[in-house]
Amino acid sequence: MNRRTNIWNAVDWVTVLIFLALAVFGWLNIYGAGYSFEQTSMFSFTNRAGKQFIWLLTAIVLGLVILLIDEKTYDLFGYWFYGAMILLLILTPFLAHDIKGSLSWITLGPISIQPAEFAKCFTAIAVAKYMGRYEYHYRDWHDLIIPGVMVILPMLIIMIWQQETGSALVFCAFLLTFYRQGMSGLVLLAGVLAAIIFVVVIRFGLIPAFIILIVIFGIVLWRIWNHPRVHKYILIGMLVLYLGFSYACTYAFQHVLQAHQRTRIEVLLGMKDDPTGAGYNVNQSIIAIGSGRFFGKGYLKGTQTKLKFVPEQDTDFIFCTVGEEWGFIGSCAVLILYLIFILRLIRIAERQRDTFSQVYAYSVAGIFLVHLTINVGMVLGLLPVIGIPLPMFSYGGSSLWGFTLLLFILLRLDAARMNKLL
Amino acid sequence: MLNDNNYKKHYVISGIAIGIVAIYICRLFFLQIIDQSTKEKADNNALVRQTIYPGRGLIYDRNDSLLVFNQPIYEVMFISKEMGDHFDTLGFCKAMDITRAEFDERMAYVTDRNRNRSYSNYTQQVFRGQLSKEDISVLQQTLFNFPGISIRKRTLRDYTYCSAAHLLGSVGEVNQRDIDNDPYYQAGDYSGRDGIERRYETILRGEKGVEVLMRDSRGRIQGSYHNGELDHEPLAGQDITLSIDIRIQLLAEQLLSGKMGSVVAIEPHTGEVLALVSSPAWDPHTLVGRQRSQNYNKLLHDPHKPLMNRALQAQYPPGSTFKLLQALVGLQEGGITEQSMYPCNGPSSTPIKCTHNHGSPVSLEQAIEQSCNPYFWQAFRDILQKDGYGKQNKNFRANYERWRKDILSFGFGSKFEDSDIPDQVSGSIPSTAFYDRYYGKTGWKAITIRSLSIGQGEILVTPLQLANEAACIANEGYYITPHLLHNDSSLTRHTTNVDPKYFPVVKTGMHRVMTNGTGRWYNIEALNMCGKTGTVQNPHGKDHAVFIGFAPMDDPKIAVAVVVENAGFGATWACPVATLMMEKYLTDSISRPDLVNKLTTTHFISE
């Protein structure tokens, strides 16, 4: 097939539009968050909104450039990109300034770059390349070892070497990719159960966790006891594993987690009341959002965010500004827009004709979903404080560029899908 | 891709996304629609309602002399969060002229949430309050060196004279009860705690202004909220003019120095109080500002009870000054006439002996002049027994009750209810029920209560009531409620039960006291003074010296009552005080500086 569809006609412009809408609305809110009653211009490079405007323009240029690059590049050089990125991640702490205890920022002249923001993208490409090989077929969990290592490697580097728990957690998004490619849904359930057990252990102690585990597994075992195809011994083994996990949680909570992480979790679980210390961010965040009521206080009229009660209000806590100034209506609109965006990405993923594109697409959807979940969950006080940006909204060039890269590679792959052999 | 048996999993993945967003929308619904507390919390966070204190009203005397005014004071404030790690503590101590230890102690106190519950790193705290302009001058010049430190201006009371402390009262910080009772007050506000300051608090305090400001998370003010739409300017308190004449107030205080006692002077035809003095007193400057509570405690524990306003709260038997009323009531009730004469056997009289040497029998005028005890006993007896006892003592008891009502009509036995004079006590004129309890209904008669005839016994009066008695006689039959506000026309005119026609004879008697009787040593002929001395027996110690009087006789301008506790003869210690005051008030001069000097330097109590 020689006739190539015109790439510009094939681009999914709806997704681009949603992307731009979120980015522009984010930019307006960054201006709002930094606004301090004697604000000059939205475009002045001296303030954050002005800088974000530059990031936005360059991101659009970056997006257009990516759309022009042949999609085969990623398949061809996927491992090279991945390798280079791993190297950069390892080198980063040597080149980095210490910014708030994390060693993940490289400063180049006036701008700082966070390589971890780009790691997601290249990991997704590498995983897609591996799983998209012609001879690759998912049969059982052995087939996930290599892609799993591909994901865990950058994750560990970021978490341990760069001390960036938030950015590392995003790699959990690949579980959705694996799930779609054949991994058992029980793994996701097991993950959810592990999370529940963790909360129960920390909040109520070991004994209640044991009781819950034994009851759940008891019911399951009782139901399937005479079922010929189910391995009850695996289930019993898992029960033992979970019991061990419960115990490990108590140990890990006391000895592995850092003090501030421990406090954040305790505050979230209501075990500690610390409105001026660890709970301050979330407490102020909830006050800011709650005070927006139904219609919000109006653009640039929020007192909580303007007067800097909410820390990190133009980066990780940008959603507060939305909540305070645009109210329930505006917050819901933003969340629903994100939902539409993610559902659209899933739809794009499903229409791909080759595994490479589909795996990559699911990775992208998963990454956006995890970012949204962790960030908004934190701002709403439902998840512990984990510093990761709200895609397109939060201030920052690296994160905006990282998401642009992630998304526009997908759009290019999607635009080119008609050219793929069935 | 064609035989994709995992195809349906995209529903699960979409479902997860939808589920998460749904949970978050529910959470938003809870926070933004259901939970009502966040709005208030947000306002508490961001809005500071800065009170702008109005200037308190000034207090003047009847001649427009300024008595009480406001003096700016300064409070040094700090915000811990802004002081930073590199705060120049030593430099700050030097500027404040305190030691490092004092600094640490104060900081430890303020930042201890157990002791200072409103403490926050982010808000202004008082480091040191009530400082004078001099105290802060060094700091003010170097303020830029000390981040987080600021100076706030307030006002304190200041006084022109070291005088009238009881009367004026003081201003202090409000307590929880004030805050609960009156929404005007907030913690840290000042209000009049006693005296005139409290009585006229609502007039003096004015209206507080408010400025709604926005502050950021570090407590720094970021400008006004909604362009100041919610702000309003303070309204200064109204000035008040007291009826007091500070010249005679000061004189009386000087004359009572080193003595326990009190002086009340009233302008008879208006009821305006010209002087209200209680001794010992204190310098009103000492109950202002930082030393207030310390000095207050000192006064509270002083054995001479300086905090008690003796002019209003001390109760004594009136002694011989009561004989004037006895005469008036006797004339009114028909117990005596202007021509009545009674025998006096001098010191051997019974049942009450006479303490003065004079002829016998005596007329009413002479009896007043000589303060003849037997005359007034016999007069009292004849008032009560003019128509015998009757059955069950009935006539006697009725007569006593009439007598008592007549006495009460002069303002005794109760507080002046419509008066603005605070903290009065009522005194007591015993009722028939009172004696019935002791003696039974038929068990008492005139002889039983003979002490009353000469103003001793169970009668208790306050110096204010004594001054009012003088005013009643000066006015020949009425009094206006004694009060402290100048030109207050809202007061009641009280008519006594005694017909005006009976007064001139008593007045003449009082005039004779000053010309020939017990007051003659301190009389000033030209001022046409009337008076009556009293020497009140005191079971606890030396007699109290008492004097009431007025001048000039025909058109009285000033009525005075003086009580000097444990001093001895009224003629010696109370009378000269009164005549000096009358002289000062009527002529604005003192013709007897030696007398002033002698009284000033004679002290009955140790300092």
Verify that B277 and B167 share a domain, yes or no: no
The residue out of B241, B268, B283 marking a domain boundary is B241
Verify that A211 and A333 share a domain, yes or no: no
| Among candidate residues B264, B248, B193, B206, the one with its CA nearest the CA of residue B483 | B264
The boundaries of the domain holding residue B582 are 246-296+309-601
Written in H, E and C, the secondary structure of chain A is: CCCCCCHHHHCCHHHHHHHHHHHHHHHHHHHHHHCCCCCCCCCCCCCHHHHHHHHHHHHHHHHHHHHHCCCHHHHHHHHHHHHHHHHHHHHHHHHEEEECCEEEEEEECCEEECCHHHHHHHHHHHHHHHHCCCCCCCCCHHHHHHHHHHHHHHHHHHHHHCCCHHHHHHHHHHHHHHHHHCCCHHHHHHHHHHHHHHHHHHHHCHHHHHHHHHHHHHHHHHHHCCCCCCCHHHHHHHHHHHHHHHHHHHHHHHHCCCHHHHHHHHHHCCCCCCCCCCCHHHHHHHHHHHCCCCCCCCCCCCHHHHCCCCCCCCCCCHHHHHHHHHHHHHHHHHHHHHHHHHHHHHHHHHCCCCHHHHHHHHHHHHHHHHHHHHHHHHHCCCCCCCCCCCCCCCCCHHHHHHHHHHHHHHHHHHHCHHHCCC
pLDDT higher than threshold 70 for residue B607? no
| A288 with B42: Cβ contact below 8 A | yes
Q: How confident is residue A1, by pLDDT bands cut at 50, 70 and 90?
A: very low
The residue out of A256, A289, A306 marking a domain boundary is A256
**Is A194 inside any structural domain?**
yes
Rounded to 5°, angle at Cα B428 from B426 and B431: 130
**Is A270 inside any structural domain?**
no
Confidence (pLDDT) at B16: 94
Residue-wise pLDDT tens digits, B180-192:
888 888 776 789 9
Verify that A177 and A203 share a domain, yes or no: no
Confidence (pLDDT) at B2: 46
Residue-wise pLDDT tens digits, A200-218:
888 888 888 889 898 988 8
Verify that B392 and B466 share a domain, yes or no: yes
Q: How many domains, in total, are found in chain A?
A: 2
What is the rounded average pLDDT of the residues B28-37? 87
Residue-wise pLDDT tens digits, A276-334:
666 677 888 888 888 888 988 888 877 777 767 777 777 888 999 899 999 999 999 99
CA dihedral (A12, A18, A19, A24) positive or negative: positive
Q: Is residue B463 reached through a cis peptide bond, with omega within 30 degrees of 0 on the bond before it?
A: no
The ipTM is 0.92
pLDDT higher than threshold 80 for residue A351? yes
| B45 with A343: Cβ contact below 8 A | no
**Is A262 inside any structural domain?**
no
Residue-wise pLDDT tens digits, B78-108:
877 778 778 888 899 988 888 899 888 888 8
Verify that B280 and B132 share a domain, yes or no: no
On whether any CB of chain B is under 8 Å from the CB of A327, the answer is yes
Return the residue of A nearest to B20 by Cα: A373
**Is A265 inside any structural domain?**
no
| B222 with A294: Cβ contact below 8 A | no
The boundaries of the domain holding residue A357 are 10-183+278-419
What is the rounded average pLDDT of the residues B524-551? 91
Q: Give the count of beta carbons closer than 10 Å to the beta carbon of residue B30.
A: 12
**Is B29 inside any structural domain?**
no
Confidence (pLDDT) at B122: 65
Verify that A40 and A147 share a domain, yes or no: yes
Token pair, residue B210, equals 């408010």
pLDDT higher than threshold 60 for residue A3? no
* Highest mean pLDDT (candidates B130-134, B389-393, B578-582): B578-582
pTM given for the model: 0.63
| A291 with B35: Cβ contact below 8 A | no
pLDDT higher than threshold 70 for residue A226? yes
| Among candidate residues B564, B560, B577, B585, the one with its CA nearest the CA of residue B265 | B560
Confidence (pLDDT) at A280: 74
Verify that A161 and A194 share a domain, yes or no: no
Token pair, residue B472, equals 């009643």
Verify that B341 and B393 share a domain, yes or no: yes
Give A-chain residues touching B32 at CB under 8 angstroms: 289-290, 292-294, 323, 327-328, 331
Verify that B154 and B264 share a domain, yes or no: no
Token pair, residue A127, equals 């995983």
Confidence (pLDDT) at A316: 87
Verify that A135 and A175 share a domain, yes or no: yes
* Highest mean pLDDT (candidates A117-126, A199-208, A241-250): A117-126
What is the rounded average pLDDT of the residues B35-39? 78
pLDDT higher than threshold 70 for residue A421? no
Give B-chain residues touching A304 at CB under 8 angstroms: 42, 45-46
What is the rounded average pLDDT of the residues A398-402? 91
What is the rounded average pLDDT of the residues B597-602? 91
Q: How confident is residue B134, by pLDDT bands cut at 50, 70 and 90?
A: confident
CATH of residue B519's domain is 3.40.710.10
| A289 with B24: Cβ contact below 8 A | no
**Is B28 inside any structural domain?**
no
What is the rounded average pLDDT of the residues B315-342? 91
Residue-wise pLDDT tens digits, B406-455:
999 999 999 999 899 988 999 999 999 999 888 888 888 888 888 898 98
**Is A272 inside any structural domain?**
no
Q: How confident is residue A230, by pLDDT bands cut at 50, 70 and 90?
A: low
Q: How far is CA A353 from the centre of its chain?
A: 26
What is the rounded average pLDDT of the residues B234-259? 93
For B524, the 3-state DSSP assignment is coil
| A37 with B7: Cβ contact below 8 A | no
Q: What is the dihedral of CA B34, B40, B46, B47, to 10 degrees?
A: 150
Verify that B166 and B256 share a domain, yes or no: no
- Percentage of the residues of chain B whose pLDDT score is greater than 90: 49
Higher pLDDT, B245 or A300: B245
Confidence (pLDDT) at B299: 92
| Among candidate residues B306, B298, B311, the one with its CA nearest the CA of residue B266 | B311
The chain-wide mean pLDDT, for chain A, equals: 85
Verify that A120 and A102 share a domain, yes or no: yes
- Percentage of the residues of chain A whose pLDDT score is greater than 70: 91
Verify that A19 and A141 share a domain, yes or no: yes
Verify that B368 and B319 share a domain, yes or no: yes
**Is A267 inside any structural domain?**
no
Confidence (pLDDT) at A2: 44
Chain A nearest C-alpha distance from B112 (Å): 16
Return the residue of B nearest to A291 by Cα: B39
Least confident of A26-40, A122-136, A347-361, B209-223: B209-223
Q: How confident is residue A237, by pLDDT bands cut at 50, 70 and 90?
A: confident
Confidence (pLDDT) at A302: 77
pLDDT higher than threshold 90 for residue A32? no
**Is B99 inside any structural domain?**
no
Residue carrying structure tokens 């007039």: B203
